[in-house]
Amino acid sequence: MIFNKVLRAGFQAGLRFQSTGPQASARAATAALKESLGGFSFELTDQQKEFQEVARKFAREEIVPAALSYDKSGEYPFPLIKRAWDLGLINGHIPEDCGGMGLGIFDSCLITEELAFGCTGVQTAIEANSLGQMPVIIAGNDAQKKKYLGRMAEEPLMCAYCVTEPGAGSDVAGIKTRAVKKGDEYVVNGQKMWITNGGKANWYFLLALTDPDPKCPTSRAFTGFIVEADTPGVQPGRKELNMGQRCSDTRGITFEDVRIPKENVLIGEGAGFKIAMGAFDKTRPPVAAGATGLAQRALEEATKYALERKTFGKFIAEHQAVSFLLAEMAMKVELARMAYQRAAWEVDQGRRNTYYASIAKAFAGDIANQCAADAVQIFGGNGFNSEYPVEKLMRDAKIYQIYEGTAQIQRLIISREHLGKFKQ
Amino acid sequence: MHRSSEVKHVASYLNTRGCECFGQPCESHCPVLTDRTIHVQLKTFIKIRVKPDRTGVVTDGVKHSMNPFCEIAVEEAIKLKEKKLVKEVVAVSCGPQQVQETIRTALAMGADRGIHVEVSGKDYETLGPLQVSKIFAALAKKEQADLIILGKQAIDDDCNQTGQMTAALLDWPQGTFASEMTLEADKLKVVREVDGGLETIKIKLPAVVTADLRLNTPRYATLPNIMKAKKKKIANVKPADLGVDVCSRLEVLKVDEPPQRQAGVKVETVDDLVGKLKEAGRV
């Protein structure tokens, strides 16, 4: 048997073991306290810490150096996405029997925050995969899951979530893309807009109107489909030039007499609205995590700068105006993190997390914008300039108040949930 | 672990030579990063401090992880396994409970199983290359290893002794400071980085190799591999089981920080410079 010994002594590979008296009794006291606190814990498992480490290392070593040039060129960051796929950082939600890792939302959020720290454009391109897959994960039958999720685990493919239209964003019930049953197929006509990965996806989740009768309730009028991107009639438009997250591929898509086999209907005709909304409960926490990652980046860049730049004889961090700005940024980042972690944890426990998910997304989106703007402020004139990293953060942050449910829609949801609880 | 004559060297390394990774990405886990590192990425900078009783450096709160040269060693072993030149890779670490995390990292990179040699408390504080190499030699015989790959040195104490001592105890050939290694039948061709340049040697197996910086670039542990690593076994062994006495023959007399850097003086002309150097007795 041939093998190698490959690790040397762990002088530096382990913590020093302290076994002195007073510390032992202190540990015993903490253990008793832990018992009384019950299950609540902010502790990550070893595996979660390791996952976070890999994502962090990848983001800081590979995404950060490349982010600026992708932002300038708008080129799709496929090499980075492929690397992330190789490392197992994408497609975490895919169930194990389809070749994925079956991770919970919490674990995915940890990874997403780290990737977003590197570049939210790259992270959004990756996150759009989760969004597109979620309807299939929650509502697909075995055959659909194996076919469409399985292929994502075998190759670094992208998918997209096609719901928004030029005339209907927040008002999902107002979408007009029409699917008409003809024999064993549905024929789809319509226009979708602002579809992330629109031009790069291998397949789409599509929401279309199947029952135009005004008397038909919203909850039964729409159907969810899986559409192969190379189906004749699917026409992605030009890549849209956006304010931020520029390397992410966003397009309009026209569906002209696209034929979808009935096997690609999720659950059944009329079940679409519920599926589309159900997916959000699982995808909003990661979006909040992404916004938190951006805010964390803003905080770190601003802090580093504040400890280097001098004015009036001191480092600017020593002036209270600046240190107070940093303090407030820190407050917001910590709270946003706790919010998304709670929302993710709730849904992983099997509970409906709409309230927490909306709070997390609304809060994180808002603070990401505030922290990015504050970071630019701390950088002063330099912050306004494209040679410094923070102006990109400000441009990238804006979309977090818009996509995946606008800040206003989130408030609608939160107030509805909150008042609903009160009325009970 | 530190001989008093070496103490100044270690302390000065920590604060003035900075991180030895020569511009390669040096992880934030490097406990010797000082504010003079060369790297641009966002890193946490950990200032090393000497303990008030001057018996060592403060390790509380300093994140510990796999020595960078050991990562390179693990990577090389896994590469050999991927080329189907070796059958099994075993990762070994000596220390308290926490080193299991480091072994898990090696398993996540692709090692097949781990061995944790338990050394804790006072024994761990005085654990040095001689004891470790005795442990490795004993394990090598027990496991019938054909090749031992280690990092050339640890970046906290810079001893650069364990590999050489292990080879000597086993009476095996050694290829140290390897920047390239190729397995050719039962011989190992090793290109060594030495002060004068590169030296190529051929050594017979079984052998000991110590990894230098340019041997390879360690891979990331992928998430699926991290999950698989949990199922891999880590065996627990005590030094006594291997017949090794971990008592140290060295006593640390004191650990000091290097002297504070004195302010420099600016001069206007070359003549001034020569004058000042003469004054200071330097020329």
The string of pLDDT tens digits covering residues A290-327 is 999 999 999 999 999 999 999 999 999 999 999 999 99
pLDDT value at A394 more than 60:
yes
Looking at A177-299, which runs of residues are DSSP E strands?
178-182, 185-196, 201-209, 222-228, 234-239, 250-261
pLDDT level of residue A224 (50, 70, 90 thresholds): very high
Instruction: Scan residues 197-226 of B and list those with Cβ closer than 8 Å to A.
Output: 220-226
CA distance A379 to A329: 14
Residue bearing the bigger pLDDT, B6 or A38: A38
**B residues 223..282 contacting A (CB < 8 A):** 223-227, 230
- Which residues, other chains included, contact A178 with Cβ-Cβ below 8 Å and sequence gap of 6+? A188, A189, A190, A208, A209, A210, A212
Catalytic residue list of A: 404
Which uninterrupted H or E stretch holds B89?
strand B88-95
CA distance A358 to A416: 11
**CB-CB neighbours of A65 under 10 Å:** 12
Which positions in chain B touch A153 (Cβ < 8 Å)? none
Across the interface, do A1 and B140 touch by the CB < 8 Å criterion?
no
What pLDDT does A23 receive? Answer: 54
Mean pLDDT on A10-19: 36
The domains of chain A are located at 47-158, 160-272, 276-421
* Mean pLDDT across B83-97: 91
Residues on chain B touching A7 (C-beta within 8 angstroms): 66, 70, 73-74, 91-93, 102-103, 106, 150
ipTM here? 0.76
CB atoms within 10 A of CB A63: 24
DSSP E strands in A8-136: the ranges are: none
CB B211 within 8 A of CB B72: yes
* Contact call for residues A253 and A192 (beta carbons, < 8 A): yes
Within 8 A by CB and 6+ apart from A256, the residues are: A189, A233, A235
The helix-helix angle for A105-118 and A120-139 (nearest 10°) equals 160
Q: Do B125 and A16 touch (CB under 8 A)?
A: yes
- Specify whether the CB–CB gap between B143 and B90 falls below 8 A: yes
Is CATH 1.20.1250.20 the classification given to domain A47-158? no
Residues A330-367: tens digit of each pLDDT: 999 999 999 999 999 999 999 999 999 999 999 999 99
- pLDDT tens for each residue of A53-71: 999 999 999 999 999 999 9
Give me the count of residues in chain B.
283
Residue B166 — pLDDT band, cuts 50, 70, 90?
A: very high
Other beta carbons within 10 angstroms of residue A294's beta carbon come to 35
Q: What pLDDT, on the 0 to 100 scale, is given for residue B10? A: 26
Q: What are phi and psi of B71, to 5 degrees?
A: -60, -40
Are the CB atoms for A18 and B96 separated by under 8 Å?
no
Q: Is A280 on the interface with B (CB under 8 A)?
A: no
The 10s digit of each residue's pLDDT in A83-126 is 999 999 998 889 999 999 999 999 999 999 999 999 999 999 99
Beta carbons of B88 and A2 less than 8 angstroms apart: yes
Full-model pTM: 0.80
Tokens of B107: 């398993």
Neighbouring residues of B38: CB distance < 8 A, sequence distance ≥ 6: B18, B19, B23
Superfamily name and number for A276-421? Butyryl-CoA Dehydrogenase, subunit A, domain 3 (1.20.140.10)
Cα–Cα distance measured from residue A16 to residue B59, given in angstroms and rounded to the nearest whole number: 7
B190: left (phi over 0), alpha (psi -120 to 50) or beta: beta
What is residue B49's predicted lDDT score, i.e. its pLDDT? 81
Cβ pair A318, A377 in contact under 8 A: no
Kindly write down the DSSP assignment for every residue of B129-158, as one continuous string.
HHHHHHHHHHHHHHHT-SEEEEES--TTT-
Hey, what are B19's tokens?
């991180």
pLDDT of residue A15: 34
Say what the pLDDT of residue A9 is: 36
Q: What is the pLDDT of residues A206-216, one digit of tens each?
A: 999 999 999 99
**Domain B37-242 top-level CATH class:** alpha beta
For the cut 70, the answer to whether the pLDDT of residue B97 exceeds it is: yes
Cα gap A268→B62, rounded to integer Å: 56
Instruction: Take residue B233 and report the two structure tokens written for it.
Output: 């076994």
Q: Does the structure show a pLDDT above 70 at A13?
A: no
Of the CATH numbers 1.20.1630.10, 2.40.110.10, 3.20.20.70, 2.30.40.10, which one belongs to the domain with range A160-272?
A: 2.40.110.10
